[in-house]
């Protein structure tokens, strides 16, 4: 009878250990006592996560030999990667292959008869970032907005690449990323991707505007007019093999540098008018009627006082569909829309919003969106141009003159817009060009005249934009 009982006990031990042996072929039970206890899980932290999450499994009877421990997720064939083991704690990396579900975790120890009871870890569903829209073109150091879904609202958690070149993410939300475009070399187009953790978005192709790239990367001859005011000049091939000569005033508005509008009913040269107003740098501004020309006076307001009503009858919108406004030394370029009386529309801008206003045109671009120019010789001819752009925050103003004659060629209004944007403007407008195009920088050039006006000498004008 005693032998029979011993035999039954042996059968029972074989019966209860067979399933474990089939799933743990690496176990060696030859010297295992039937009284051995199984490991026990008391907690799993964190309780939720994703692939790659480091999980701490607390419990007892894990041992200290990592080679004897296996952790399995939902009875998968391959055990999870174990990072460390002590008798009361296992650190393990959550394996891939799961999403939006509860997964059973089980610990196996080779010198224990049975595995632990199940504990659960919930895989959070993760959504791959997706790009839905980007601008048509870009260039070095451009501020570019990527629209999409499933981005991280934490800027540094998004990796944006142009090909293999990583960009700097400056602002982020779940649906929008603002990036500073890196140097892309000489490529004419490249793919943009967004990565979040190990999830990579679709790729979207973007063209590189080579002319704007040339402007942004050009080695300008730069000098400081005053702290916060830089004068830059360059002559180089642009928009084809044609030589262009460009002068730039890059101005940071602050307590030392105040943007202002100057006006005189008795026309005067840009240099004399700005110098007479106590200005240190500036450009010619609005249109004005010359002998035989169509009346196209702009609306002008200075320090809260309307100094010129502006022409209200049948002025082509190309001359009056943009307004430079200045309020508390913050500048903006506004697009005036409609078919008539745009000077009147400018006059209706509340004084509380703009102490200073001057109308001109055409508008070139607003918030980096370039405005379609009408097919008219005023816009399409390559001539001397004067333009002004402002940064998105209105604290940086970029003034530009492009000369013509003396071996160089001017530009069209769309090309002027590309120049202003490449120099850092978010919005830009055209001012009176041709023979009026003039730039003044105190202490530079000839008595402050730094460009070469069309025709060889300054034209007397009626208004200026300047810094004092």
Chain center to CA of 87 = 51
- Other beta carbons within 10 angstroms of residue 20's beta carbon come to 16
- Residue 269 DSSP SS3: coil
The predicted structure's pLDDT at residue 69: 96
What residues form DSSP beta bridges with 102?
Answer: 122
Q: Which two tokens stand for residue 368?
A: 């980096």
Give all strands (DSSP E) within 269-406, no chain letters: 281-284, 300-302, 305-308, 322-327, 330-335, 356-360, 363-366, 369-370, 385-390, 396-402
Which stretches within 316-390 are classed as H helix? 342-347, 377-380
Residue identified by tokens 């010198």 is: 111
Region 327-354 average pLDDT: 93
C-alpha span between 195 and 113 (Å, rounded): 45
The tens digit of pLDDT for each residue in 284-319 reads 999 998 765 667 899 999 999 999 999 887 788 899
Helix axes 210-217, 413-422, angle to 10 degrees: 50
CB of 273 closer than 8 Å to CB of 264: yes
DSSP string over 80-128? PEEEEEETTEEEEEPPSS--SEEEEEEEEETTSSSPPPPEEEEEPP---
Confidence of residue 93 (pLDDT cuts 50, 70, 90): very high
The predicted structure's pLDDT at residue 78: 82
The tens digit of pLDDT for each residue in 122-181 reads 998 778 899 999 999 999 999 999 999 999 999 999 999 999 999 999 999 999 999 999
The predicted structure's pLDDT at residue 37: 83
- Other beta carbons within 10 angstroms of residue 461's beta carbon come to 27
The predicted structure's pLDDT at residue 20: 39
Mean pLDDT for the chain?
90
What residues form DSSP beta bridges with 233?
Answer: 221, 247
* Residues making up the chain, counted from first to last: 468
Q: What is the Cα gyration radius of the chain?
A: 36
CB of 365 closer than 8 Å to CB of 321: no
What is the CATH code for 2-123?
2.60.40.10
For the chain, how many helices (H) and strands (E)?
6, 35
Residues 6+ positions from 185 with CB-CB distance below 8 Å: none
CB of 463 closer than 8 Å to CB of 358: yes
The predicted structure's pLDDT at residue 341: 86
Range name among 192-206, 267-281, 335-349 with the lowest pLDDT average: 335-349
C-alpha span between 107 and 24 (Å, rounded): 11
The predicted structure's pLDDT at residue 97: 85
Of residues 58, 192, 93, 197, the one with CA closest to residue 135: 192
Region 258-262 average pLDDT: 98
Domain residue spans in the chain? 2-123, 130-208, 218-467
Same fold, 2-123 and 130-208: yes
The tens digit of pLDDT for each residue in 10-44 reads 333 333 344 433 344 334 444 545 445 899 999 99
Burial class of 146 by CB neighbour count within 10 A (0 to 12, 13 to 18, 19+)? buried
Instruction: State the pTM of this model.
Output: 0.76
C-alpha span between 413 and 431 (Å, rounded): 10
Percent of the chain with pLDDT over 90: 81
The tens digit of pLDDT for each residue in 119-137 reads 999 998 778 899 999 999 9
What fold does the segment set 130-208 form as a domain? Immunoglobulin-like (2.60.40)
CB of 286 closer than 8 Å to CB of 431: yes
C-alpha span between 68 and 109 (Å, rounded): 6
Q: Which two tokens stand for residue 341?
A: 């009386």
Of residues 414, 382, 426, the one with CA closest to residue 211: 414
The predicted structure's pLDDT at residue 24: 41
Confidence of residue 455 (pLDDT cuts 50, 70, 90): confident
C-alpha span between 11 and 165 (Å, rounded): 67
CB of 405 closer than 8 Å to CB of 372: no
Q: How are beta strands 48-49 and 119-123 bridged, if at all?
A: parallel
The tens digit of pLDDT for each residue in 358-396 reads 999 999 999 999 999 999 999 999 999 999 999 999 999
C-alpha span between 357 and 322 (Å, rounded): 10
Q: How big, in percent rounded to 5, are the helix, strand and coil portions of the chain?
A: 15, 40, 45
Please name the helix (run of DSSP H) or strand (run of DSSP E) that holds residue 378, with its range, or none: helix 377-380
Q: Which two tokens stand for residue 416?
A: 């002027």
Residue 95 C-beta-side C-alpha neighbours within 13 Å: 16
Task: Report whether pLDDT(71) > 70.
Answer: yes
The tens digit of pLDDT for each residue in 402-421 reads 999 999 999 999 999 999 99
Q: Which two tokens stand for residue 139?
A: 């260039």
Q: CA torsion, points 9, 14, 19, 25, in degrees to nearest 10? A: 140
């Amino acid at each position: 009878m005693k032998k029979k009982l011993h035999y039954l006990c042996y059968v029972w031990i074989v019966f209860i250990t067979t399933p474990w042996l089939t799933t743990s072929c690496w176990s060696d039970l030859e010297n295992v006592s039937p009284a051995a206890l199984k490991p026990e899980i008391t907690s799993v932290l964190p309780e939720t996560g994703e692939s790659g999450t480091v999980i701490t499994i607390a419990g007892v009877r894990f041992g200290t030999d990592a080679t004897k421990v296996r952790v399995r997720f939902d009875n998968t064939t391959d055990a999870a990667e174990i990072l460390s083991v002590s008798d009361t704690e296992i650190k393990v990396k959550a394996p891939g292959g799961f999403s939006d579900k509860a997964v059973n975790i089980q610990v196996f120890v080779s010198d224990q008869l049975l595995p632990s009871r199940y504990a659960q870890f919930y895989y959070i569903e993760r959504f791959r970032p997706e790009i839905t829209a980007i601008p048509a073109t870009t260039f070095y150091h451009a501020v570019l907005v990527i629209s999409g879904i499933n981005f991280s609202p934490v800027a540094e958690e998004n990796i944006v690449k142009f090909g293999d070149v990583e960009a700097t993410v400056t602002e982020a939300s779940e649906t929008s990323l603002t990036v500073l475009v890196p140097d892309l070399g000489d490529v004419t187009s490249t793919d943009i991707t967004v990565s979040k953790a190990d999830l990579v978005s679709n790729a979207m192709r973007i063209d590189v505007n080579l002319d704007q790239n040339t402007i942004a990367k050009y080695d300008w001859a730069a000098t400081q007019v005053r702290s916060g005011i830089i004068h830059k000049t360059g002559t180089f091939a642009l928009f084809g093999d044609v030589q262009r000569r460009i002068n730039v005033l890059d101005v940071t508005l602050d307590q030392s540098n105040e943007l202002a509008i100057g006006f005189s009913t008795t026309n005067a040269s840009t240099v004399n008018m700005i110098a007479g107003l106590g200005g240190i740098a500036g450009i010619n501004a609005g249109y004005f009627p010359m002998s035989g020309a169509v009346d196209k006076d702009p609306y002008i307001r200075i320090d809260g006082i309307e100094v010129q009503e502006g022409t209200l009858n049948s002025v082509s919108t190309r001359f009056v569909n943009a307004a430079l406004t200045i309020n508390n030394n913050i500048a903006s370029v506004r697009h005036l829309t409609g078919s008539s009386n745009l000077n009147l529309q400018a006059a209706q801008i509340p004084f509380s919003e703009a102490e200073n206003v001057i109308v001109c045109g055409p508008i070139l671009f607003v918030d980096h969106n370039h405005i379609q120019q009408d097919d008219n010789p005023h816009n399409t001819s390559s001539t001397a141009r004067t333009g002004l752009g402002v940064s998105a925050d209105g604290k940086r103003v970029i003034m530009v003159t492009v000369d013509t004659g003396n071996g160089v060629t001017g530009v069209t209004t769309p090309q002027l817009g590309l120049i202003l944007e490449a120099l850092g403007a978010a919005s830009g407008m055209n001012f009176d060009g041709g023979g009026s195009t003039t730039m003044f920088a105190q202490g530079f050039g000839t008595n402050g005249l730094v460009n070469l006006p069309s025709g060889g000498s300054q034209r007397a004008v009626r208004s200026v934009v300047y810094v004092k």
